[in-house]
Amino acid sequence: MATTIPQTPSFRLDGKRAIVTGAGRGIGVAAAAALAQAGAKVTLVARSAAEIEAAAKAIGLNAVAATLDVSDFDAVAAFFAERDPFHILVNNAGTNRPKPMWDVTQADYDAVLGLNVKAAFFVAQACAKQMIATSTRGSLIHMGSQMGHVGGPNRSLYCASKWALEGMNKSFALDLATHGIRSNTIAPTFIETPMTKPMFEDPDFRASVLSKIKLGRIGTPEDLMGAVLFLASEASSLMTGTSLVVDGGWTAE
């Protein structure tokens, strides 16, 4: 009797529409490139038109740029309502203002929680509403952090925002499961990007980070491309409401 061999689910995304926020640099560009290279038609979104247009041109394939301020909630709602539904969202726009908790101002709080939590929430909501209205199944991917699983010095606002994102993600997954929409986070360790590069110029800070990353190196945007592709594709079709931690062993201790 012939043995039936299981077939690996496809990592290809041909025919899928994807959107990446904060796509002008760093992790956002890498996520957009990963999706485009797997066959998806990718829309790169950010406030800075020149940056995302250059990134989309460099990616080529099916990448296009669209200027959008994700903290303008009326604009976000209109943006998604007037477009065909996306199958994949990478909710990546974010910021950080590292300082001791006693130095945090209300303006700092509003900036970090406003972008990392509130904007992420309403981008996901607008995307999901259009998916639900058109019976479009798909995957929401939220860029979290290892700091959504542990604490860190001078990271009270960032930790607050990323822990909030993890809780939101779990509830999104429960609300959206019956609509065939999955929701997961990716939780990276420190990744060397234009936003973080100045921090690593401090040798003491760099050494402290490397002492916690058990694999012995700071992450690169390329380290997250496989995770993005996995969560976007049918390869992760039974995963929802969880976090893919890409931290070099930081949170294992």
Instruction: State how far the alpha carbon of 217 is from the alpha carbons of 86, 189, 200, 206, in Å.
Output: 35, 10, 12, 10
**Contact assessment for residue 21 and residue 43, using Cβ atoms and an 8 Å cutoff:** no
Catalytically annotated residue among 80, 158, 190, 230: 158
Residues 6+ apart with CB under 8 A from 241: 169, 170, 172, 173, 174, 183, 184
Rounded Cα gap, residues 169 and 220, in angstroms: 24
Would you give the distance in Å from CA 179 to the centre of its chain?
21
Rounded Cα gap, residues 238 and 87, in angstroms: 16
Whether residue 158 lies in the annotated active site: yes
Active site residues: 158
